[in-house]
Every structure is written in C-alpha cells, then in structure tokens.
C-alpha cells in the first residue's frame, strides 16, 4: 500500500506543530487587518502598517487624491519606477479585503512552488517567512513586495527544474515566464536579476560555475552602469540626498557610488539596508522614544523588528556555513542584495524580498544541499614548524653521536 502524498502525507509531530503555528500566524494577520487596515465595529485605527498603498489606490482610481489618509509618493521614484503591478491587484481586488485575499492566494502559490525545489520543507519555509515581520503588511496591504516574492520563488523553482532536469519543458517555460512577469510587475528593474543570472549561467559565459568572479563582474557592471546613467541623465541625486538626509554616511557613500565606485561601497550599503535603524544605535537612545508610537506602526515596530530578523538570519546562515555562493539560492540572494542596494537611498523594504531566497535555502534538508568547495583557509604554519623541529632534533642527535 502506497503512502499518501501532498497535503495528506505522513508527517511528524514537529511538522504538524509548525503547520498549526503558521495557521495561528495567519489568523493574527487577519486580526491586525481588521484593526489597522479596514477597522470594524467603529474602532479608531492606530497608524497604518502600509507604506505606499494609498498611492497605488489613487493611481487605480479607487481613492480620492485629496483624502488626508492617502499620500502620493511618486516624486520619490527615480529612473521612472512602476506601479503597474499594485494597480493591477487593486483593480482586480476592488478594495482592501479583495487585495488582502489576492495577496494570501499568491503566498499560497509561493509556498507550493517552494516545495518543488529539492529538499525544501514547505512548513519550515512558511514559518521562516512568518518570522520576518515584514510579511504581515505584505499579506494584508496593497504593495509591490508580494509580487517581488512571487517572481523570485518562480525563478528559483525554474533554476532547479532546469538543473535537475525534472518535469517537462512546458513546466520550466511557465516557471520562467512567471518569474519574469511577476518581477516586472513588482519593479521594472527587478527583471534584470533573472536575466543576469541566466546570462552568467549560459554555456558561453566566461564566469559560469565561478560565482566569486561572477559577483565581482556584477559589481563592476553596476558601478559603471550607475555612473554612466547619472552623467548621461544629469541627475543631481547627491544634492537631493544631502537635502533630505544631511551630509552624513549615506551622502558620502553615494558620492563614491556616483563616481563609479559602487563596488567599493556595495557591501556597506547592503549592511545598512539589512540593519535599517540598527546601524545607528544612538537613535534608540534618544530620538526613538520621542516618536509617535501609535502613529506609524510600519516604521516604529514592523520595520525595526524586520531589520533585526534579517540581520539574525543572514548572520545565522553565515555562521552555520549555509551562505555559500556555490549554491544557486545563495548566489541569487547576493545578486538581489547587490542590485537593490544600488538605490541611492537606504531603505529596508527594498532589500526585504531577497529574504525569501534565504528562507528557501535555510528550510532545505542538509542531505539535499549542493556540494560546494569549502571556503579557502589560511595555511597553517604548525605542520611546517613541527617538521623543522623534528629535523633539528634529528640533526642534533646525529651530531652528538
């Protein structure tokens, strides 16, 4: 008698507890939705958990631009930006509840596709995603993040389908099309990430199978591309950054980036995007306690906790030896971090979708992980010293004899 598979597969107690925990989390998400997004029973809502939802509803023609509850932020978008994806979701959902329902269905699709990647345990993956607080507004509000997550997981599933030569060609094509489409709907720039990965993994690529060299090449391409774009378009983003943030670290890093030095400042900017407010601990000793804690739940709670979560899981992956560039998911994660951190502003939400790739890697069975070359180590001097010591002792014994 064959064992049942899929949803009714035999599972251990730990798996069922994880599934139960995620359903509890989903219930809490809808409770938060009913209090902050679309209040019921006449409750006076606290500050919202959304970021730019109001702007997208306005562009979809479903909100009044003169309403004090909506803020148009199109002026902060550089290089053209795109709101097509959120507008499409708004037009289909026709309201807050419809949008939240679509987001949850997309997340279920993400969890299903995650399970097609070798070794990924769906229940572990879902709980890891829930431990990143940014998932709550991603599920409950109109945003780009849910589209970015769907695009990245679709493309990751395609990479493994092609690598493992599983399924038919039509399945691979649909996964690739979905990855490219959802990425383009999230942000037009994000489609460059799967295109870049396909290019460096092509048979004619000189850096195929060399993730370290591929990363260096990406840094150089981003550095040159940004510098050329800024000079051709005559963008004075440096002056704008100084006006908004002051002549601090962000402005200094951007000054180097604008002169073609992004490869020098990429990793400090990635760390700043991951850490968010935690990169300046002094903020929590003074300014943080003067903020309106009921006025903006996104900035005062979710963003702060999300940064801590990102730092913890990236650090955990590094310490546990899971952050290896030889593994496709980690390589894609680093590509995403590099490409999104080129943005002149430091914004935690820009880098958040890359967490889905890290969650995929951390939820895989160790037995299914790709074998990669160990990290290079400094040569030990101890063996040479012991050999020299033995030679000296032997010489001294021979001389005394």
- Which range, of 43-52, 267-276, 294-303, averages the lowest pLDDT? 43-52
pLDDT in tens, 202-211: 999 999 989 9
Task: Give the C-alpha separation, 370 to 75, whole Å.
Answer: 44
Long-range contacts of 287-292 (CB under 8 A, 24+ apart): 292/47
Residues 240 and 254: beta-carbon distance below 8 Å:
no
Find tokens 């979809």 and name the residue: 60
Task: Give the C-alpha separation, 156 to 328, whole Å.
Answer: 8
Q: Residue 320, Cβ neighbours under 10 Å: how many?
A: 9
Task: Give the C-alpha separation, 338 to 214, whole Å.
Answer: 12
Helix (H, G, I), strand (E, B) or coil at 364: strand
Q: Residue 382: CA atoms inside 13 Å, Cβ hemisphere, count?
A: 2
pLDDT in tens, 337-390: 999 999 888 888 889 999 999 999 999 998 888 877 655 444 444 454 455 455
Task: Give the C-alpha separation, 10 to 380, whole Å.
Answer: 49
Task: Give the C-alpha separation, 152 to 180, whole Å.
Answer: 9
Q: What is the pTM of this model?
A: 0.84
State what percent of residues in the chain have pLDDT above 90: 48
- Going by the DSSP 8-state scheme, the letter that residue 47 receives in this structure is S
Residues 151 and 180: beta-carbon distance below 8 Å:
yes
Q: What is the DSSP string of 98-124?
A: HHHHHHHHHHHHHHHHHTTSTTB-HHH
Would you kindly state where each structural domain of the chain is located, as residue ranges?
Answer: 12-63+80-366
Handedness of CA 94, 97, 100, 101 (dihedral sign): negative
Q: What is the pLDDT of residue 45?
A: 55
Greater pLDDT, 130 or 68 = 130
pLDDT in tens, 211-262: 999 999 999 999 998 888 877 766 666 655 655 555 678 888 888 888 889 9
Tokens of 111: 């969890």
How confident is the prediction for the chain on average, in pLDDT? 82
What is the tally of helices (H) and strands (E) in the chain?
A: 19, 0
Tokens of 246: 């002051």
Q: Is 25 exposed, middle or buried (0-12, 13-18, 19+ CB in 10 A)?
A: middle
């Amino acid at each position: 008698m064959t064992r049942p598979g899929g949803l009714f597969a035999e599972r251990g107690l730990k798996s069922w507890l994880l599934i139960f925990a995620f359903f509890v989390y989903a219930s809490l998400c809808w409770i938060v939705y009913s209090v902050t997004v679309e209040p019921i029973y006449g409750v006076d809502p606290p500050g919202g958990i959304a970021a730019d939802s109001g702007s997208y509803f306005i562009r979809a023609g479903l909100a009044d631009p003169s309403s004090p509850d909506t803020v148009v932020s199109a002026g902060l978008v550089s290089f053209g930006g795109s709101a097509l994806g959120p507008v499409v979701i708004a037009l289909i959902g026709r309201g807050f509840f419809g949008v939240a329902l679509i987001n949850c269905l997309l997340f279920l699709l993400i969890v299903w596709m995650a399970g097609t990647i070798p070794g990924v345990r769906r229940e572990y993956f879902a709980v890891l995603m829930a431990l990143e607080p940014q998932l709550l507004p991603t599920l409950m509000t109109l945003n780009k993040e849910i589209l970015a997550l769907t695009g990245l997981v679709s493309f990751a599933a395609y990479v493994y389908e092609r690598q493992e030569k599983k399924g038919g060609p039509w399945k691979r094509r649909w996964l690739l099309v979905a990855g490219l489409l959802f990425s383009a709907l999230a942000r037009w720039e994000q489609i460059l990430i799967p295109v870049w990965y396909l290019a460096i993994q092509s048979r004619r690529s000189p850096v195929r199978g060399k993730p370290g060299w591929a990363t260096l090449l990406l840094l150089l391409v981003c550095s040159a591309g940004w510098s050329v774009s800024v000079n051709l378009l005559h963008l004075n983003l440096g002056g704008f950054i100084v006006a908004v943030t002051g002549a601090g670290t962000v402005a200094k890093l951007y000054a180097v980036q604008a002169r073609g030095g992004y490869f020098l400042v990429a990793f400090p900017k990635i760390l700043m995007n991951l850490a968010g407010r935690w990169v300046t601990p002094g903020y929590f000793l003074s300014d943080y306690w003067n903020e309106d804690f009921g006025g903006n739940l996104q900035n005062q709670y979710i963003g702060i906790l999300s940064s801590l979560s990102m730092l913890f899981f990236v650090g955990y992956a590094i310490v546990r030896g899971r952050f290896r560039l030889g593994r496709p998911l980690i390589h894609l994660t680093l590509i995403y971090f590099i490409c999104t951190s080129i943005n002149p502003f430091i914004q935690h939400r820009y880098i958040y979708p890359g967490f889905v790739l890290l969650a995929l890697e951390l939820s895989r069975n160790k037995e299914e992980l790709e074998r990669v070359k160990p990290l290079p180590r400094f040569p030990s001097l101890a063996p040479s010293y012991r050999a020299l010591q033995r030679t000296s002792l032997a010489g001294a014994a021979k001389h005394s004899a």
